[in-house]
Protein backbone atom coordinates (compact mmCIF):
# COMPACT_ATOMS: atom_id res chain seq x y z
CA UNK A 1 0.00 0.00 0.00
CA UNK A 2 1.19 3.47 -0.88
CA UNK A 3 2.40 5.50 2.16
CA UNK A 4 0.34 8.49 1.00
CA UNK A 5 -2.80 6.34 1.04
CA UNK A 6 -1.94 5.16 4.55
CA UNK A 7 -1.58 8.77 5.68
CA UNK A 8 -5.01 9.54 4.20
CA UNK A 9 -6.61 6.64 6.05
CA UNK A 10 -4.89 7.30 9.39
CA UNK A 11 -5.61 11.03 9.32
CA UNK A 12 -9.36 10.48 8.95
CA UNK A 13 -11.94 9.56 11.57
CA UNK A 14 -13.94 7.17 9.39
CA UNK A 15 -14.01 3.44 10.11
CA UNK A 16 -12.46 1.01 9.91
CA UNK A 17 -10.21 2.15 12.74
CA UNK A 18 -8.43 -1.19 13.00
CA UNK A 19 -5.87 -2.18 10.37
CA UNK A 20 -4.03 -5.47 10.01
CA UNK A 21 -0.60 -4.83 8.52
CA UNK A 22 1.20 -7.86 7.11
CA UNK A 23 4.95 -7.69 6.57
CA UNK A 24 8.38 -7.59 8.08
CA UNK A 25 8.54 -5.87 11.44
CA UNK A 26 11.31 -3.47 10.44
CA UNK A 27 9.49 -2.45 7.25
CA UNK A 28 6.31 -1.65 9.16
CA UNK A 29 8.13 0.21 11.94
CA UNK A 30 10.08 2.27 9.44
CA UNK A 31 6.97 3.02 7.43
CA UNK A 32 4.83 4.11 10.37
CA UNK A 33 7.40 5.74 12.59
CA UNK A 34 9.65 7.36 10.03
CA UNK A 35 8.06 7.82 6.62
CA UNK A 36 4.49 8.47 7.68
CA UNK A 37 5.14 10.31 10.94
CA UNK A 38 7.01 13.08 9.19
CA UNK A 39 4.22 13.90 6.78
CA UNK A 40 2.26 17.02 7.75
CA UNK A 41 -1.08 15.33 8.42
CA UNK A 42 0.41 12.90 10.93
CA UNK A 43 3.22 14.95 12.46
CA UNK A 44 1.22 16.01 15.52
CA UNK A 45 -0.13 12.52 16.17
CA UNK A 46 0.87 10.39 19.13
CA UNK A 47 2.14 7.12 17.63
CA UNK A 48 2.96 4.44 20.17
CA UNK A 49 4.41 0.96 19.64
CA UNK A 50 3.01 -1.83 21.80
CA UNK A 51 5.30 -4.89 21.72
CA UNK A 52 3.12 -7.99 21.50
CA UNK A 53 5.80 -10.12 23.12
CA UNK A 54 5.13 -8.21 26.35
CA UNK A 55 1.36 -8.70 26.18
CA UNK A 56 0.75 -12.45 26.53
CA UNK A 57 -1.77 -12.07 29.38
CA UNK A 58 -4.42 -9.52 30.28
CA UNK A 59 -2.32 -8.18 33.16
CA UNK A 60 0.88 -7.94 31.09
CA UNK A 61 -1.07 -6.21 28.30
CA UNK A 62 -2.57 -3.67 30.71
CA UNK A 63 0.86 -3.06 32.27
CA UNK A 64 2.42 -2.51 28.86
CA UNK A 65 -0.33 -0.17 27.68
CA UNK A 66 -0.02 1.80 30.92
CA UNK A 67 3.73 2.12 30.33
CA UNK A 68 3.58 2.94 26.62
CA UNK A 69 0.68 5.39 26.95
CA UNK A 70 1.94 6.90 30.21
CA UNK A 71 -1.31 6.26 32.07
CA UNK A 72 -1.72 8.16 35.35
CA UNK A 73 -1.03 6.44 38.69
CA UNK A 74 -4.75 5.90 39.35
CA UNK A 75 -5.04 3.45 36.40
CA UNK A 76 -6.88 0.41 37.78
CA UNK A 77 -5.45 -2.35 35.53
CA UNK A 78 -8.84 -3.62 34.36
CA UNK A 79 -10.88 -3.31 31.17
CA UNK A 80 -13.05 -0.41 32.40
CA UNK A 81 -9.99 1.53 33.50
CA UNK A 82 -8.34 0.89 30.13
CA UNK A 83 -11.31 2.30 28.26
CA UNK A 84 -11.48 5.31 30.57
CA UNK A 85 -7.79 6.12 30.21
CA UNK A 86 -7.86 5.70 26.43
CA UNK A 87 -10.76 8.15 26.27
CA UNK A 88 -8.86 10.61 28.48
CA UNK A 89 -5.49 10.40 26.68
CA UNK A 90 -5.63 14.07 25.69
CA UNK A 91 -5.40 15.03 29.37
CA UNK A 92 -1.73 13.96 29.56
CA UNK A 93 -0.83 13.22 25.94
CA UNK A 94 -2.39 15.95 23.81
CA UNK A 95 -2.25 15.19 20.09
CA UNK A 96 -4.20 15.75 16.90
CA UNK A 97 -4.65 11.99 16.54
CA UNK A 98 -3.59 8.67 18.04
CA UNK A 99 -2.14 5.53 16.50
CA UNK A 100 -1.50 2.38 18.53
CA UNK A 101 0.83 0.01 16.70
CA UNK A 102 0.76 -3.52 18.10
CA UNK A 103 3.92 -5.30 16.93
CA UNK A 104 3.73 -9.12 16.73
CA UNK A 105 -0.03 -9.26 17.23
CA UNK A 106 0.14 -13.06 17.18
CA UNK A 107 1.65 -12.86 20.68
CA UNK A 108 -1.03 -10.56 22.15
CA UNK A 109 -3.29 -12.29 24.69
CA UNK A 110 -2.38 -15.77 23.47
CA UNK A 111 -3.83 -17.30 26.63
CA UNK A 112 -7.37 -16.00 26.08
CA UNK A 113 -9.33 -15.41 22.89
CA UNK A 114 -12.07 -13.90 25.05
CA UNK A 115 -9.68 -11.25 26.32
CA UNK A 116 -8.48 -10.57 22.76
CA UNK A 117 -12.09 -10.03 21.68
CA UNK A 118 -12.65 -7.71 24.65
CA UNK A 119 -9.51 -5.73 23.81
CA UNK A 120 -10.55 -5.26 20.18
CA UNK A 121 -14.07 -4.29 21.26
CA UNK A 122 -12.71 -1.65 23.64
CA UNK A 123 -10.29 -0.26 21.05
CA UNK A 124 -13.05 -0.07 18.44
CA UNK A 125 -15.40 1.64 20.90
CA UNK A 126 -12.72 4.15 21.93
CA UNK A 127 -11.92 4.95 18.29
CA UNK A 128 -15.62 5.56 17.66
CA UNK A 129 -15.85 7.87 20.67
CA UNK A 130 -12.84 9.89 19.52
CA UNK A 131 -14.34 10.13 16.01
CA UNK A 132 -17.62 11.50 17.38
CA UNK A 133 -16.00 14.31 19.39
CA UNK A 134 -16.13 17.90 18.28
CA UNK A 135 -13.76 18.32 16.65
CA UNK A 136 -13.36 14.67 15.67
CA UNK A 137 -9.99 13.11 16.48
CA UNK A 138 -8.49 10.17 14.54
CA UNK A 139 -7.74 7.12 16.69
CA UNK A 140 -6.44 4.08 14.83
CA UNK A 141 -5.16 0.68 15.83
CA UNK A 142 -2.55 -0.99 13.63
CA UNK A 143 -2.00 -4.70 14.20
CA UNK A 144 1.25 -6.02 12.76
CA UNK A 145 1.88 -9.63 11.84
CA UNK A 146 4.27 -11.57 9.64
CA UNK A 147 2.88 -13.24 6.51
CA UNK A 148 3.12 -16.70 8.09
CA UNK A 149 0.82 -15.51 10.94
CA UNK A 150 -1.71 -13.77 8.68
CA UNK A 151 -4.30 -16.58 8.61
CA UNK A 152 -4.14 -16.96 12.39
CA UNK A 153 -4.71 -13.23 12.93
CA UNK A 154 -7.46 -13.11 10.30
CA UNK A 155 -9.22 -15.90 12.19
CA UNK A 156 -8.78 -14.12 15.53
CA UNK A 157 -10.10 -10.88 14.06
CA UNK A 158 -13.06 -12.64 12.42
CA UNK A 159 -13.98 -14.00 15.85
CA UNK A 160 -14.16 -10.44 17.21
CA UNK A 161 -16.80 -9.40 14.69
CA UNK A 162 -14.99 -6.09 14.18
CA UNK A 163 -14.50 -4.35 10.88
CA UNK A 164 -10.85 -3.99 9.86
CA UNK A 165 -8.72 -3.33 6.80
CA UNK A 166 -5.74 -5.34 5.60
CA UNK A 167 -2.53 -3.76 4.36
CA UNK A 168 -0.19 -6.34 2.88
CA UNK A 169 3.46 -5.35 2.51
CA UNK A 170 4.73 -8.79 1.59
CA UNK A 171 6.07 -9.24 -1.95
CA UNK A 172 3.64 -11.09 -4.19
pLDDT in tens, 47-101: 899 999 999 999 999 999 999 999 999 999 999 999 999 999 999 999 999 999 9
Q: What is the dihedral of CA 145, 50, 142, 100, to 10 degrees?
A: 180
104, 120, 103: which is closest to 112 by C-alpha?
120
Task: State residue 40's pLDDT score.
Answer: 58
Count other C-beta atoms under 10 Å from residue 134's C-beta. Answer: 5
C-alpha 82 chain-centroid distance: 14
In this prediction, residues 26-33 reach a mean pLDDT of: 74
Higher-confidence residue: 170 or 106?
A: 106
Task: State residue 137's pLDDT score.
Answer: 97
CATH domain 3-168 topology: Barnase; Chain D (3.30.370)
Task: State residue 19's pLDDT score.
Answer: 96
What is the number of alpha carbons within 13 Å of residue 110 lying toward its C-beta?
Answer: 11
pLDDT for 102-153, tens place per residue? Answer: 999 999 999 899 999 999 999 999 999 999 999 999 999 999 999 999 999 9
Give CA angle at 49 (92, 73), nearest 5°.
35
Task: State residue 20's pLDDT score.
Answer: 96
Task: State residue 42's pLDDT score.
Answer: 62
> Is the pLDDT confidence value at 171 over 70?
no
Domains of the chain, by residue range, sit at: 3-168
Task: State residue 45's pLDDT score.
Answer: 87
Amino acid sequence: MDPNRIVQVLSKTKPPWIHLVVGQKQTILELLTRKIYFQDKIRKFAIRDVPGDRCFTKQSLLRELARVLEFPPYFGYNWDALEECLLDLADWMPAEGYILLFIDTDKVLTDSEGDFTTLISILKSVAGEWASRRPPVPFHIVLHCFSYEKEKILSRMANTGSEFSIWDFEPV
